[in-house]
Structure 1
């Protein structure tokens, strides 16, 4: 991408044309995110002062980022962060990139978290497979009386989650715990939340390139039928759940009945089904 323009408006246009020519799905959005991030500018500045000059270091960084995007790397991995539920979360190679669909889980369980905090003076949340800390931190940001433990088997993921908690001023109410599911957990909690791996092992190769090549496979692989983690949660969660507690899990859009059956056989009742923005079944809430 030789000779990128040195002023903001033409630079953004050139970046968009470059991504569009490479067949990137949303070249306008990705170009804007890359140019604004690496030039330290805002959308307003682009509109108000398109002739603003951009220094050569920023242009080089933008050029490098565009090359990475053309090779298939997701734009938020290049930026190093993703917005989730209004929070800016740092990403790392060991974390899934939080998706808007997972905001459905936050919205689904939030009324219960608020009600519990109001009636008990606190709400204790366990976030299994916390990754960036997205679910736990979104709930903590919305409910000042909530506290959360984020569990992950990956040290790198836990370091990222803790960094995010610190950056958001939530570290005082967030604990990062290295554990293989419930192995090191001590309860009880009012809410157990999880966006577990739920892709059948043999289907991982068929995922979108951006997911298959850049999200950690350990955070995707749900075993032979994609349901292994739900069996673990259903079998073990009761020991760590308050009497009136709730379990909220994200599911693959075809897994509603199978996941419901797994929890039913462990004695749980379905307390809610929530759909994502695309109208797909996405979150199930259970109670004992």
Structure 2
């Protein structure tokens, strides 16, 4: 009996993933086959008519089995695309999200020389900003030692390690000096919301990066209260939040005495980023 073709293997895997409740199973099957065969995902169609080699079939089977129990694709292939670059990820860090690219766009809309990334995780925000601004330097802070190692690896991967300093820190505790820009994608899910997130997120991403274990707003209170002490006079803060949190986050920053607070949308039109500064 001849081995199945790559196309037949993808069809079978898609059906299996669909039965397991995996969203977009055909896309995931294609990505996983590409990874198993060590080819670019865009080139999978070229190998589709060919019989699948036994070693590739075995790797593909293992990957599909893990995806069927909702291990994220990014963890299986070891990376996730963000703002045109691939970032190494693991279960120690939050996966880069497309909506966070809105924060990048806003950060790049005005010049900066020194940036602080609070809760840097994979380092995707800090590394992207430094890669886009070759004259800038920055500091990434995270309480997780594993996250700091991941961020450092991504800084090396994208050639910005000489301009990026990664430190273990409980929010501002290890911050020093002044910054033109402070950015953050903090844990903003309320404890009560954790049961509603997908298995990929709930079971495979670090809880401390998802929720503060309280009302989802505690970190914004910390940032609003302390960030002015680390900003230059014309500096600004940009922080991502959950799409329903805009009014609460705005009120927190206004109550802390920020001169200007704006709530800005992501590419999908939902409120996503708070911009706070203190104009002269």
TM score, norm. by length of structure 2:
0.93
Q: SS of the counterpart of 1:182?
A: helix
Say yes or no: does 1:153 pair with 2:151: no
Displacement after TM superposition at 1:219 (Å): 0.8
Report the CA distance shift for 1:4/1:108 in structure 2 as closer, same or farther (over 3 A): farther
2:38 equivalent in structure 1: 40
Displacement after TM superposition at 1:53 (Å): 4.5
Report the CA distance shift for 1:165/1:223 in structure 2 as closer, same or farther (over 3 A): same
Q: Is the 8 A contact 1:270 1:284 kept in 2?
A: no
Deviation sequence 1:60-108 (CA, Å, 0-9, x none): 1111110111111111122111011111111122201111111111111
How many angstroms apart in 1 are the aligned matches of 2:262 and 2:120? 22
Structure 2 gap ranges (5+): none
Deviation sequence 1:199-251 (CA, Å, 0-9, x none): 11222122222211111111111242211000111111111111100100001
Equivalences, count? 278
1:265 to 248, 255, 266: 255
Displacement after TM superposition at 1:58 (Å): 2.2
Say yes or no: does 1:219 pair with 2:209: yes
Bigger shift: residues 262-271 or 24-33:
262-271
How many angstroms apart in 2 are the aligned matches of 1:230 and 1:269? 16
Report the CA distance shift for 1:266/1:16 in structure 2 as closer, same or farther (over 3 A): same
Q: Is the 8 A contact 2:131 2:160 kept in 1?
A: yes
Structure 1 gap ranges (5+): 117-122
Report the CA distance shift for 1:18/1:287 in structure 2 as closer, same or farther (over 3 A): same
Bigger shift: residues 5-14 or 82-91:
5-14
1:239 equivalent in structure 2: 229
1:196 equivalent in structure 2: 186
Q: SS of the counterpart of 2:173?
A: coil
1:14 to 12, 15, 35: 12
How many angstroms apart in 1 are the aligned matches of 2:268 and 2:223? 26
How many angstroms apart in 1 are the aligned matches of 2:55 and 2:222? 50
TM score, norm. by length of structure 1:
0.91
How many angstroms apart in 2 are the aligned matches of 1:280 and 1:177? 32
1:109 to 104, 107, 110: 107
Report the CA distance shift for 1:186/1:28 in structure 2 as closer, same or farther (over 3 A): same
Q: SS of the counterpart of 1:186?
A: coil
Q: SS of the counterpart of 1:19?
A: helix
Displacement after TM superposition at 1:259 (Å): 0.8
Displacement after TM superposition at 1:43 (Å): 4.1
How many angstroms apart in 2 are the aligned matches of 1:78 and 1:25? 16
Bigger shift: residues 171-180 or 5-14:
5-14
Q: SS of the counterpart of 1:96?
A: coil
How many angstroms apart in 1 are the aligned matches of 2:144 and 2:163? 21
Report the CA distance shift for 1:75/1:181 in structure 2 as closer, same or farther (over 3 A): same
1:98 to 76, 96, 106: 96
Q: Is the 8 A contact 1:152 1:178 kept in 2?
A: yes
